[in-house]
């Protein structure tokens, strides 16, 4: 690891586990100090303990703008500023076979975390950054926000909204040198998929998760799954000065899934040792 974020101060929402914790650990390894917000107190405190003085953790609900404001205030008061805001917290909502079966019972919750959380986090961070020389805001969308498909309609709609909001905010905030970009991950093993199974039995949830993974593996041109570290690498790029001329972009970290269908494997590939 290098020194790419030396002296920078970041907030990461949903940073206690999954992609968020990989980003927090990588930001710290690159010299940043990070305020982490998450609903999971146990994992958040364990992460902060691993990071030492470079990280502070608070229990927050990203769907509550008042609690998000506490993270921004903490970064400014305890670390002295805010240069990077990573609006990462997101939930999948419950998986349905078809929109015909969807009761939209979790609509408000998914939208409040995935859309209001991102919009409020962007606004709060940008208010500070606009008065203090600029900054970088990184919003987490998804391949599900780029590519149409079935199963989690509210999630897909929320992640598409994140992309459109990111571009619009980038345009408005450019005059303050506040850059706003989006990462659209796909098919990275974390707890996100398992959580989509809601109240299903563990056996059924396991079958569903395996079926989803199989489907995503078949849809991905690169013959391997991504890792949380792959997403953290993209986040470091957006957070640091190497991406200073980038705003309003959507970076798919998805093994090529949204580029198009993989080419058919030839029957001789396996014999040649090809994946």
Active site residues: 155
113 scored as a contact of ligand NAD (CB under 6 A): yes
154 scored as a contact of ligand NAD (CB under 6 A): no
The DSSP call for residue 152 is -
Supply the minimum distance, in Å, between the C-beta of residue 1 and ligand NAD. 21
151 scored as a contact of ligand NAD (CB under 6 A): no
What is the spatial order of strands in the sheet that 9-13 belongs to? 55-59, 33-38, 9-13, 84-87, 135-140, 178-185, 250-253
Measured CA to CA, the distance from residue 199 to residue 122 in angstroms comes to 33
Nearer to ligand NAD, 134 or 167 (CB): 167
Residue with tokens 């959380």: 117
Binder of ligand NAD out of 91, 110, 163, 205 (CB under 6 A): 91
Binder of ligand NAD out of 8, 11, 17, 27 (CB under 6 A): 17
Measured CA to CA, the distance from residue 265 to residue 90 in angstroms comes to 34
Region from 31-39, 146-154, 168-176, 236-244 binding ligand NAD, contact rule CB under 6 A: 31-39
If one counts every other C-beta atom within 10 angstroms of the C-beta of residue 68, the result is 28
Q: What are the angstrom distances between the C-alpha of 121 and each of 138, 139, 142, 263?
A: 10, 9, 18, 40
Residue with tokens 């994140």: 162
190 scored as a contact of ligand NAD (CB under 6 A): yes
Supply the minimum distance, in Å, between the C-beta of residue 32 and ligand NAD. 19
Q: Using CB under 6 A as the criterion, what x/- string covers residues 226-265 for binding ligand NAD?
A: ----------------------------------------
Region from 8-16, 97-105, 233-241, 257-265 binding ligand NAD, contact rule CB under 6 A: 8-16
Supply the minimum distance, in Å, between the C-beta of residue 231 and ligand NAD. 7
21-58 core/surface letters (b: 16 or more CB in 10 A; e: else): bbbbbbbbbbbbbbbbbbbbeebbeebbeebeebbbbb
177 scored as a contact of ligand NAD (CB under 6 A): no
Supply the minimum distance, in Å, between the C-beta of residue 153 and ligand NAD. 14
Residue pair 76/127 in contact (Cβ under 8 Å)? The answer is: no
Measured CA to CA, the distance from residue 195 to residue 187 in angstroms comes to 14
Supply the minimum distance, in Å, between the C-beta of residue 126 and ligand NAD. 19
88 scored as a contact of ligand NAD (CB under 6 A): yes
Q: What are the angstrom distances between the C-alpha of 61 and each of 66, 91, 121, 142, 270?
A: 9, 12, 12, 20, 48
Footprint of ligand NAD on this chain (CB under 6 A)? 13-14, 16-20, 37-40, 60-63, 88-91, 113, 140, 142-143, 185-188, 190-192, 195
């Amino acid at each position: 690891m290098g020194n790419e974020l030396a002296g920078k101060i970041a907030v990461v929402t949903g940073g206690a586990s999954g992609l968020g914790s990989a980003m927090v650990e990588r930001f710290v390894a690159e010299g940043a100090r990070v305020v982490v917000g998450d609903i999971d107190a146990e994992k958040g405190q364990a992460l902060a303990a691993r990071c030492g003085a470079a990280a502070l953790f608070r229990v927050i609900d990203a769907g509550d703008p008042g609690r998000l404001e506490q993270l921004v205030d903490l970064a400014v008061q305890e670390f002295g500023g805010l240069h990077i805001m990573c609006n990462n917290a997101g939930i999948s909502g419950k998986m349905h076979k078809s929109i015909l079966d969807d009761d939209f019972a979790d609509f408000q919750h998914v939208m409040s975390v995935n859309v209001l959380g991102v919009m409020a986090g962007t606004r709060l961070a940008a208010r500070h950054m606009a008065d203090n020389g600029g900054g970088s805001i990184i919003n987490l969308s998804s391949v599900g926000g780029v590519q149409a498909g079935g199963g989690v309609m509210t999630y897909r709609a929320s992640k598409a909204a994140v992309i459109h909001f990111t571009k619009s905010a980038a345009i408005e905030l450019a005059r303050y040198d506040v850059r706003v970009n989006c990462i659209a991950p796909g098919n990275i093993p974390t707890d996100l998929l398992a959580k989509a199974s809601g109240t299903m039995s563990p056996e059924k949830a396991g079958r569903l998760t395996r079926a989803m993974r199989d489907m995503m593996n078949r849809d991905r041109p690169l013959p391997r799954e991504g890792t949380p570290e792959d997403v953290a690498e993209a986040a470091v790029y957006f957070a640091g000065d190497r991406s200073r001329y980038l705003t309003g972009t959507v970076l798919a970290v998805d093994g090529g899934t949204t580029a198009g269908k993989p080419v058919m494997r030839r029957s001789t590939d396996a014999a040649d040792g090809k994946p």
